[in-house]
Amino acid sequence: MAKGRCFQLDTKKLLFILSLAMVCLSLYTLLSDPGHVSYWNAVPSVHPLAVAQLYHKKNASYDMPTNASRTDSSGTPDATSTIATDWTATKRLPQALIIGVKKGGTRALLEFLRLHPDVRAAGSEPHFFDRHYNRGLDWYRSLMPKALDGQIVMEKTPRYFVSADSPARVHSMSHEVKLIVVVRDPITRAISDYAQIVSKTPGVASFESLSFRNGSAGMEVNSQWSPLWIGLYAQHLERWLAYFPAAQMYFVHGERLVTDPAGEMAHVQDFLGLERIVTDKHFYFNQTKGFPCLKKPEGSSQPHCLGSTKGRAHPQIQQEAIRKLSVFYRPHNLRFYEMVGKDFGWQ
């Protein structure tokens, strides 16, 4: 009997010790696993705006409260914007670049892309790969707006397309970056460029006299004059194709960006792997401006056209000069069409 009771007591003790050990083991596992700890810590600290932004990404609509993505002119969340403290958004290097061309319609394209909830774009031109490369990638990254996972970060600097060093430098940042070039008839582009020069430097010589070696009567085109040189698209593109496959580049039809912004935006969104969210319902044609404008730009509920430096009146150019420039550009344009596999129809 006594022997049996003793055995019973030992079994109870053993079971008690075993249960205690299991409780200790469970507690240890729970507390030593960082996943558990961060999970419990994270739940109460999810920022409501992060949830709102994720909702916005999934259900992109016009009616998202605009202060959730308020940015300053550089595209960086402004000091008063609560999204600046959104812990899920980080500054990343761009995955897409609008590399050119100057006066092609690059500002319009960037503003249109910024309507997309999966695009975060720097507002001003960083000029990193052409002018400020020695400032380093960390500096460049710091110029980017914060973005959530899945959002595409981008910037536009039209000078990159014609800068000799840019292709190699962009490639060393990323082999996979997507490149967009807005192209426009090189003659109209040159006149647009010249109109900008005149607006900054009144009294400058005429377009005709700057375009030809012996003034307006000359036959030889002054192809080194920057407004004409930039329009040698095939020549500039050659340098990019030494680093990037043509499939990684998209050429936006600058003229169609004006006549059919939604149609061009559909192609650009496809190229960037984005859902087609920017559509014709975002645009209206403003008769006074003579250009498509936005019904509701990013961060505002008011209709908005681009500023007065976009869509300037062009000076009247002599027909003979236009004819000579058409002859000059013709072989360059044809070579460009061949390289990109698309005929832009410039005369």
Positions in the binding site for ligand A3P (CB under 6 A): 102-108, 158, 192, 195, 257-258, 291-292, 306, 310-312
Residue among 106 and 269 whose Cβ is closer to ligand A3P: 106
Closest distance to ligand A3P from the beta carbon of 111 (Å): 8
Residue among 102 and 114 whose Cβ is closer to ligand A3P: 102
Residue among 118 and 125 whose Cβ is closer to ligand A3P: 125
Buried b (16+ CB within 10 A) or exposed e, 114-152: bbbbbbbbbbebbebbbeebeeeeeebeebbbbbbeebb
The CA angle 311-306-94, to the nearest 5 degrees, is 110
Closest distance to ligand A3P from the beta carbon of 184 (Å): 7
Closest distance to ligand A3P from the beta carbon of 312 (Å): 4
Residue among 107 and 282 whose Cβ is closer to ligand A3P: 107
Closest distance to ligand A3P from the beta carbon of 182 (Å): 6
Closest distance to ligand A3P from the beta carbon of 206 (Å): 17
Which residue's beta carbon is nearest to the bound ligand A3P? Answer: 192
Given a contact cutoff of 8 angstroms between Cβ atoms, the answer to whether 295 and 284 are in contact is: yes
Distance of CA 178 to the CA centre of its chain: 9
Closest distance to ligand A3P from the beta carbon of 253 (Å): 11
State the Cα–Cα distance between residues 207 and 318, nearest whole angstrom. Answer: 9
Residue among 70 and 312 whose Cβ is closer to ligand A3P: 312
Residue among 86 and 264 whose Cβ is closer to ligand A3P: 264
Closest distance to ligand A3P from the beta carbon of 286 (Å): 8
- Report residue 97 as tokens: 């670049």
State the Cα–Cα distance between residues 149 and 131, nearest whole angstrom. Answer: 29
Residue among 152 and 306 whose Cβ is closer to ligand A3P: 306
Residue among 218 and 311 whose Cβ is closer to ligand A3P: 311
Half-sphere exposure of 334 (CA within 13 A, CB side): 5
Closest distance to ligand A3P from the beta carbon of 39 (Å): 47
229: buried, middle or exposed (CB in 10 Å: 19+, 13-18, 0-12)?
A: middle
Residue entry with tokens 């319902």: 281
Instruction: Cite the DSSP H helix spans in the chain.
Output: 2-32, 34-45, 48-58, 106-113, 136-142, 166-173, 186-200, 207-211, 226-229, 233-241, 254-259, 261-271, 319-340
Residue among 89 and 110 whose Cβ is closer to ligand A3P: 110
Buried b (16+ CB within 10 A) or exposed e, 70-109: bbeeebbbeeebebbebeebebbebbbbbbbbbbbbbbbb
Closest distance to ligand A3P from the beta carbon of 165 (Å): 21
Within 8 A by CB and 6+ apart from 2, the residues are none
* Count of positions (residues) in the chain: 347
